[in-house]
Every structure is written in structure tokens, then in C-alpha cells.
Amino acid sequence: MTELRARFPNHLLLGVLCSGIAAANAVRAPVAALVAALVGLGAAAAFSEPDRRFVLLALALALGGWWWGSARLDALDRSVLRAEAGRAEQALVVVTGPPRRGAFSLRAPGLVTRFGRLRPHEAVLLELPLGRSPPQGAVLEALGVLTLPRPPANGFDERAWLRHRGVHVVLRVDRWQAVGRRGGLGGVADRLRATLAGSVAAGLDGDRRAVLEGVVLGDDQDIPIELRNRFRASGLYHLLAVSGQNVALVAGSTLWVAWLAGLPRLLGELAALAGMAAYVLAVGPQPSVIRAGVAGALASFAWLSARERDRWYALLLGALVLLGWNPYNLFDPGFQLSFAAVLAIFVLVPRLMSVLEGYPVPRPLAGVVAVSTACGVATAPVSWLQFHAVPLLTVPANALAAPVVAPLLALALATAVLAPVAPSAAAALAWLNGWCAAYLAGCARLVGGLPGAQVRSGRAMAALTAAAFLAAAYAWRRWRRR
């Protein structure tokens, strides 16, 4: 314990705190008992030896995290509007996310600030009639009826999925009119997203525009269902969810521009922080982008404070931010896939790279193979449990797609920067970037359309799992002999 405490004190304490918050999902904490326990631990820690004091501090953090997680879950589960289900009223609603078009209605996340005489300030799911779509951030005056979410059906529990996001009712709107726009930080995020969405694919349409917006903004609603399914089957769907690569490119591009302009590194790091914050605001609170944003911010702060960067500390702090805000994030597929992939990159990729060193494989290709293999293995259980499907050809698919991913992101960001000052140059870059998007869509269609690209049956998954265990045992035995 002494050695662990000396080498990884912050990591252990952060891990314990995250575990305490996550534990609230299983059992809610009794507040009175927790307060008494924390007071007792504090008194005991004051008169204990360093090792015992560290253990008591860890226990206190676990209890404090349990209390905080329980309080946050109680707040998320609280609903004023649930008791009004079945009632129709005039309402004032803020559209807090981009609307998605379905077969029979438009659906969007919203915030009800007035419902009849109530002033609930509560999150809801909006169902709007098909037709014109309100922009994100619009304030709507609407006539609608509150209903409960749909019960579990066809393997999907909409009620639980919404409850994990603090949403307990659906507002089915009959008619609405826009009466304003929200302000504050949300308004800034709305304007940033609208600017980015309107510039990264200037002059493009169809699949090219949809894929570009998916890669840059994590918004896949305009991608045809057939192409979305091919992205999933090929193992390339992660490219349509904003990840650390996007945030790293924003930070790196900002630092590079600052260096070209001859600015001091201090100003460059501050500009990188501002760029990452603006990008996170524009994309929205996706688990992968929040984790990447926290990691990028810590990297900049480490340079500003002349401290060593610690990727494990950044990962744990990202988990703390996400779980501290919403402990239900533990069940979110995006959270699980993101952290499983990053853990695989930290743990498995260096070992796979060392194995590939003995083969005539170019280092860039070896990196793609190692990352794709590690992430594919680590995320396969999550993909099966959440979606009952596992892509088998993720390594060749990512090897084919890798040459255009970084150029696509770089060209998209350059297009967004140039659009306000040089629209013609931005349109030319967007046209060039459209070919990158077309190539990416072609990779998804080619690999995702191959027979056996995806496992969807329980028997096939059992056979695949057995084969993976045998291969892992064989590889472990050979490694031990070496």
C-alpha cells in the first residue's frame, strides 16, 4: 500500500471517488448515516499514521462520492411534469438540441420553462409535427399534451433511456411558433454549432455533406439509413462520433497557427484552450468529446504550470466530470465505448506495436492495425451488450479509411476558419474535402457490404468468443516463452 500510495496517490483517490459516485446507481446513500461516517473518519484520520490516514481518506472520498452520486440521481429522477401526463396546455419550450426527423414526427430535446401555470424548468423530449424544423436554441410557444415515454419494446426501453438523461415525459406538440432564442452559454453553443454546421460543408449536398457533418459534429441524422448501417457493420461508425482525435486536431491546429504567427507559446496554449472549449460547446455534451476536452485542457494546463502530463490522471478526471454530472452516464453506450477504447489504447496498443515490430509492416500502418485491433477487442463486449452486433472487419476497414480521416478533419476546420473571410476559398476546400467524405463513405459501403462483416447471432458470437479466448491463451503462452 505504501508503494502504491507513493507512486499513484492522485490516481487511487480519483478512482475511489469515481467508484463511490458509480455505486449510487446500485444503492442510494442514506444521508444521515453518511454524515456520521464522514465525521468519524475525519476524526480518526487526524490521529492516524500516514498509511492508515491515506486509507481513511480514500474511504471518506468513496462515501462522499456515494453521497454526491445519490444526490445527483435524486435530482435527475425528480419530475414536476410527470404528474401532469395526459394534460394539454400552452407551453414555453427551449429546443436544446438538433431535431431529428422520423417517419411520423420531428423529435428534439427540449427544456420546458412554462406549462400552463407551472414554471418547471424541466427537460423533456419534444415531438413536433413533420414540416419545418425549429433550429437548436429556438424558444417556442407551443400547444401540446404531456405523455409518458413508450414502454420497452423490440429490445429498446425508451423510458429508461430517457430517464438516464433526466427526461420523464414527452411533450407532443400540435402547433408551435418561434418567439425568440435562448441566451447565455447555451446561446453561445447554439451560434457556434450553427456557424460550424453552415461552413464545414459549404456548397456540398447529399452523402458528402452528411458524412462531413457526421465526422465533424457527430450528427448523423442526414446520413441515409443504408449508409449508417454500413458504417456500423464495417466498424467505422466511431468516426461519426466526435472523439479525442477531433479535439487534438483543434488544439494542434491552433498551436501551429500561433507558431506561424510568431506568438509566444503561452498565448498559443491559451488560444488552444479557447479553441477546445468552443469546439466542445459546438458539438455538445457527448461523453467522448467531454473526456477528450478534459484531457486536452489538462495537457495545456500541464504546460502552463510546467508539470508532467499524465494521461491516466486525465482519463480518471474525465470520468469524474461525466459521472459527477450524471451518474447514469455509466450505462451510456457512448461512455462505455469511449472509455473502453481509450483503456485499450493505453494498455494493449504498446504491446501490439512491439509484436508488429518483427514484421515488414510500415509504422503508420502498424499503428492503425494496433489501434483498430485493440479497440475492436475492447469494445466488442460493449457493442454486443448494447447493440447485439459486433463488426468483424474493423481492422481492414480502418486501414482503408485511415489515410483520409486526418486530412478530412483538417480541411473541415480550415474551411470553417476561412468561411467568414474568404467564402470562395472555403467553398474550394469544402469541394476538395467532399472527395475525402465520398472515399470514407465508399470504404463503409465496401467493407460493410461484405458477407460476414458483422456478427448478429448468439451462436456466432459464442463461437467468436471461444476462438478469441483460445487465440489469447496461445499468444500469452508464446509471450511467456519469449
Least confident stretch, 21-25, 115-119, 279-283, 355-359: 355-359
One domain, residues 326 and 391 = yes
- What's the CA gap between 272 and 288, in Å, rounded? 19
One domain, residues 45 and 110 = no
- What's the CA gap between 303 and 277, in Å, rounded? 17
What's CA 473's distance to the chain center, in Å? 33
Asked which of 31, 59, 77 is the last residue of a domain, the reply is 77
One domain, residues 206 and 328 = yes
Q: Has residue 164 been placed in a domain?
A: yes
Coil, helix or strand at residue 160:
helix
Q: Has residue 340 been placed in a domain?
A: yes
Type of residue found at 14: L
Q: How confident is the model at residue 115 (pLDDT cuts 50, 70, 90)?
A: very high
Q: Has residue 450 been placed in a domain?
A: yes
CATH number at residue 108: 2.40.50
Mean pLDDT of 451-480: 70
- Mean predicted lDDT score pLDDT of the chain: 83
Q: Has residue 393 been placed in a domain?
A: yes
Mean pLDDT of 266-290: 82
Q: How confident is the model at residue 6 (pLDDT cuts 50, 70, 90)?
A: low
Type of residue found at 369: V
- What's the CA gap between 294 and 125, in Å, rounded? 28
Asked which of 182, 212, 246 is the last residue of a domain, the reply is 182
Bridge partners (DSSP) of residue 175 are: 143
The residue segments making up the domain with residue 168 are 81-182
Report which of residues 228 and 9 the model is more confident about: 228
Q: How confident is the model at residue 304 (pLDDT cuts 50, 70, 90)?
A: low
Coil, helix or strand at residue 223:
coil
Report which of residues 254 and 445 the model is more confident about: 445
* pTM metric for this prediction: 0.85
- What's the CA gap between 313 and 269, in Å, rounded? 20
**Contact assessment for residue 232 and residue 444, using Cβ atoms and an 8 Å cutoff:** no
Burial of 430 (0-12, 13-18, 19+ CB in 10 A): buried
One domain, residues 71 and 93 = no
Q: Has residue 188 been placed in a domain?
A: no
- What's the CA gap between 434 and 78, in Å, rounded? 46
One domain, residues 130 and 204 = no
What's the pLDDT score for residue 22? 93
**Contact assessment for residue 433 and residue 440, using Cβ atoms and an 8 Å cutoff:** no
What's the pLDDT score for residue 334? 85
Q: How far is CA 338 from CA 220, 277, 332, 342, 473, in A?
A: 18, 19, 10, 6, 26
Coil, helix or strand at residue 166:
coil
**Contact assessment for residue 243 and residue 292, using Cβ atoms and an 8 Å cutoff:** yes
- What's the CA gap between 110 and 186, in Å, rounded? 12
For residue 345, report the phi and psi dihedrals to the nearest 5 degrees: -65, -40
* CA atoms within a 13 Å half-sphere pointing along the CA-CB vector of 136: 22
205-247 pLDDT tens trace: 888 888 888 888 888 888 888 998 999 888 888 888 777 777 8
Q: Has residue 187 been placed in a domain?
A: no
How many domains would you assign to the chain? 3
Angle made by CA atoms 290, 292, 294, in degrees to the nearest 5: 70
Q: Is pLDDT of 300 > 80?
A: no
Q: Has residue 410 been placed in a domain?
A: yes
Closest CA to 314 of 10, 4, 9, 1: 10
For 443-465, b where at least 16 C-beta lie within 10 A, e where not — what string? Answer: bbbbbbeeeebbbeeeeebeeee
Closest CA to 194 of 127, 106, 97: 97
What's the pLDDT score for residue 126? 93
Least confident stretch, 148-152, 331-335, 457-461: 457-461
**Contact assessment for residue 196 and residue 411, using Cβ atoms and an 8 Å cutoff:** no
316-328 pLDDT tens trace: 888 898 999 999 9
Q: Is pLDDT of 5 > 60?
A: no
DSSP secondary structure code for residue 331 in this structure: G
Strand pairing category for 122-129 and 138-147: unpaired
Mean pLDDT of 100-118: 88
What's the pLDDT score for residue 255? 79
Report which of residues 151 and 37 the model is more confident about: 151
What's the pLDDT score for residue 145? 93
Least confident stretch, 44-48, 77-81, 271-275, 300-304: 44-48
User: 263 CB contacts (<8 Å, ≥6 apart)?
Assistant: 271
Q: Has residue 315 been placed in a domain?
A: yes
What's the pLDDT score for residue 194? 85
One domain, residues 354 and 450 = yes
What's the pLDDT score for residue 376? 85
One domain, residues 385 and 464 = yes
| In 16-55, beta strands by DSSP E | none
Asked which of 182, 201, 227 is the last residue of a domain, the reply is 182
CB atoms within 10 A of CB 349: 18
What's CA 360's distance to the chain center, in Å? 36
**Contact assessment for residue 22 and residue 66, using Cβ atoms and an 8 Å cutoff:** no
- What's the CA gap between 138 and 100, in Å, rounded? 15
Mean pLDDT of 32-52: 64
* CA atoms within a 13 Å half-sphere pointing along the CA-CB vector of 408: 27
Q: Is pLDDT of 131 > 60?
A: yes
One domain, residues 115 and 236 = no
One domain, residues 378 and 250 = yes
What's the pLDDT score for residue 381? 87
What's the pLDDT score for residue 263? 79
Least confident stretch, 15-19, 290-294, 396-400: 290-294
Least confident stretch, 28-37, 67-76, 117-126, 203-212: 28-37
One domain, residues 140 and 284 = no
What's the pLDDT score for residue 313? 81
Strand pairing category for 105-115 and 138-147: unpaired
C-alpha cell at 359: 514484421
Report which of residues 51 and 211 the model is more confident about: 211
Strand pairing category for 122-129 and 170-181: parallel
Mean pLDDT of 156-161: 86
User: What percent of the chain lies above the pLDDT cut of 90?
Assistant: 20
One domain, residues 25 and 172 = no
| Dihedral angle over CA of 20, 22, 25, 30, nearest 10 | 20
- What's the CA gap between 360 and 400, in Å, rounded? 18
Mean pLDDT of 261-281: 82
One domain, residues 466 and 369 = yes
- Please write down the HEC assignment for all residues of 118-144: ECCCEEEEEEEECCCCCCCCEEEEEEE
- What's the CA gap between 162 and 100, in Å, rounded? 15
